[in-house]
Amino acid sequence: MKKIQNYINGEMIDPVSGNHLENTEPATGQVYGSIPDSDDKDLIMAVNAAENAQYDWANTSAEIRSKILENLADLIDANADELARAEAIDNGKPISLAKQVDIYRSAANIRFFAHASTQFSSESHSMENTAINFTLRDPIGIVACISPWNLPLYLFTWKIAPALAVGNVVIAKPSEVTPMTSYLFSKLCIQAGLPKGVLNIVHGTGQNIGSAMVVHPKIKAISFTGGTSTGAHIAKSTAGMFKKMSLELGGKNPTLVFADCDFEETVTEVVRAAFANQGQICLCGSRIYIERSIYEKFKQAFIKKVATIKIGDPLEQETQHGALVSEQHMQKVLSYIELAKTEGGKILTGGNQIKMNGRCANGYFVEPTVIENLDNFCRTNQEEIFGPVCTIMPFDSDEEALALANGNEYGLASSIWTNDLKRAHNLAKNIEAGIVWINCWLLRDLRTPFGGVKSSGVGREGGLEALRFFTEPKNVCIKY
Ligand code: NDP
């Protein structure tokens, strides 16, 4: 059994209460470890540690902070195999994906912000012959970073790295569902020479420790990634406390396929966009709209391609489709498939839980599922399922495609597949989403703003946006 500990004031410690939660491997359904069920008492220790570290870290030079973060990125690279295996066991995702995406990008996030913070500059505004204004950008102080289970270490580092790089001290909570890599990461922080108290990682449930973190008066900013209803709850519970807030929430992303697309490449990439990580990426394209003239041809090619996805034990190198993250989540996904049927949906492929053999016999596997014949405004097409389920629908014009894409409360990402430049520009401008990919999906440049509109969130992460979020601007005006 693997016992996870909190990382507070530079040390690995058990929760004050001694209470633990079970940690389950989704591919086997077996409990394989325990997680601290942290509460207010652990939070007090973490806040005290952060407060003690705050002044020194804020006054450490950007170069030294950057060097420590680089050490950390190097240690992630050096331990990539162990971390990828741990992520695959904890989350159910294929080990190859964990290695190539999750762990690779965790190191890349940290390295990127280690460098970016040394290039970060603030503005000045001259008032001709009257005065000069310049903007100081100081760290905020103690900030909270709360992350979800779908890309555990990747999204955890995406928040922590910019916060630390610009001199904040951090209290971070990974999802209780996937705590293992952030636990291993805390050990790497010690090895990398991160001063004690600068980063504190407290494990436990959103209800116990997460909700206590967000309302703690000494925590001045919250960077949260997770579901829209949790984001709304956090916004409500902190209303009137005037904390700086970045909320990266759910998505129900449209994929628009036009008749003039590069057909084979589009089929391959649209399948990947729908089913990567078992459809558990906030950016996955789960509403697929296809121009009517190629609808039948695309549908057949799409289903054929889906059938080639290699489902298997996440720990096998060739597996492309692993387990869903928990039994509860699997039941939610299966319930949406049942709902789709009652809404008139026709299951073209998939639709069932998969009974695996051997080690994974009790795991949480669901077939990649494609549904057609649904109205755009039914619940299946409106609500975030966050699993290996997508719907396909025909459209007749650019205007209709845009209306279908925008006819949803979410607005995180979108992808458009066409060779018509004018159309691509036009749709990119008018689509209600924070991220638009043209003829690609999940092509990420860490300098670009990342986040959504409508119910997909408030604020942006990535590049300068993140460095600005984690600093407090102060304008100084000097009269000539
Ligand atoms: P949740 O909203 O359930 O949880 C996210 C994090 O918040 C977890 O660490 C959770 O802890 C914690 N939490 C739960 N309740 C509270 C609370 N009251 N106060 C403070 N923290 C709390 O999301 P999931 O983990 O289920 O992740 C899936 C969701 O995340 C999907 O909706 C997906 O779209 C979204 N997401 C958005 C992304 C984006 O960039 N926009 C990227 C990735 C995912 P615990 O799990 O321990 O209860």
Average pLDDT over all residues of the chain: 98
- Residue 143 — pLDDT band, cuts 50, 70, 90? very high
The pairing of strands 369-372 and 389-395 is parallel
Query: What Å distances lie between residue 220 and 140, 168, 301, 469, 480, CA to CA?
Result: 7, 10, 51, 12, 35
- At 190 the pLDDT is 98
- Please state, in angstroms and rounded to a whole number, the distance separating the CA atoms of residues 195 and 335: 47
The set of residues, in sequence order, having a beta carbon less than 8 Å from that of 270 and lying 6+ positions away, is 255, 257, 285, 288, 302, 415, 417, 441
233 lines ligand 1 (CB under 6 A): yes
462 lines ligand 1 (CB under 6 A): no
- Residue 453 — pLDDT band, cuts 50, 70, 90? very high
Instruction: Answer for the pair 419, 441: CB distance below 8 angstroms, yes or no.
Output: no
The set of residues, in sequence order, having a beta carbon less than 8 Å from that of 467 and lying 6+ positions away, is 113, 116, 117, 120, 137, 162, 165, 166
pTM of the model: 0.97
pLDDT digits 0-9 by tens, 33-52: 999 999 999 999 999 999 99
- Residue 337 — pLDDT band, cuts 50, 70, 90? very high
Instruction: Answer for the pair 8, 46: CB distance below 8 angstroms, yes or no.
Output: yes
pLDDT digits 0-9 by tens, 270-320: 999 999 999 999 999 999 999 999 999 999 999 999 999 999 999 999 999
Probe target for ligand 1 pocket from 205, 213, 230, with the most ligand atoms within 8 Å of CB: 230
Cα 149 to middle of ligand 1, angstroms: 7
* Atom of ligand 1 at shortest range from CA of 174: 9
Probe target for ligand 1 pocket from 102, 151, 175, with the most ligand atoms within 8 Å of CB: 175
Domains delineated in the chain: 2-249+456-479 (3.40.605.10), 253-446 (3.40.309.10)
Q: Which residues are catalytic?
A: 248, 282
234 lines ligand 1 (CB under 6 A): yes
* Atom of ligand 1 at shortest range from CA of 213: 20
Probe target for ligand 1 pocket from 38, 43, 149, with the most ligand atoms within 8 Å of CB: 149
- At 226 the pLDDT is 98
Among 408, 366, 102, 383, which Cα is nearest to 227's?
A: 383
pLDDT digits 0-9 by tens, 84-98: 999 999 999 999 999
Cα 254 to middle of ligand 1, angstroms: 22
- Please state, in angstroms and rounded to a whole number, the distance separating the CA atoms of residues 66 and 73: 10
Instruction: Answer for the pair 256, 415: CB distance below 8 angstroms, yes or no.
Output: yes
The average pLDDT across 237-260 equals: 98
pLDDT digits 0-9 by tens, 414-439: 999 999 999 999 999 999 999 999 99
